[in-house]
Amino acid sequence: MGRFIYEGGPRCELEDRALLHIQLVITAKLRRGEPFAFSWREDASVGGGKNTVWIHAYSSIVFQYFGSRKPEVNRAWVDALAYTANSPTGLYLVPEPPGSATAGNLEIA
């Protein structure tokens, strides 16, 4: 289970695999100078609800991984997440596309 931490405050816990895919989309958007919103739902154990943060070039973001193995990257999932990031509502986690877990995977360093 990994963590996305924004500006030392709001944080979101995600599986390492999902976190890696979110990181790829966020860094691609920031490289292009495209600010956007990122939203996630809180677990019911901490009161539920939804958080939204505005991500921009000067954001202080931490991607904290707890696993020791690097997950494979699924291009179809990155594309699906990028689609949400480019929408008016901004980036949010969508399920990994079915049947695409091994198709179009990328290796990252």
The whole-model pTM stands at 0.84
Residue 63 · residue 21 · CB < 8 Å:
no
Residue spans of the domains in the chain: they are 2-99
> Are 71 and 16 in contact, with CB atoms under 8 Å apart?
yes
**Burial group, residue 84, by CB count within 10 angstroms (0-12, 13-18, 19+):** middle
Residue scoring higher pLDDT (102 or 48) = 48
Q: What is the pLDDT of residues 11-51, one digit of tens each?
A: 899 999 999 999 999 999 999 999 999 999 887 776 778 89
Strands annotated E in 1-109: 2-6, 11-14, 36-41, 50-55, 61-64, 73-74, 105-106
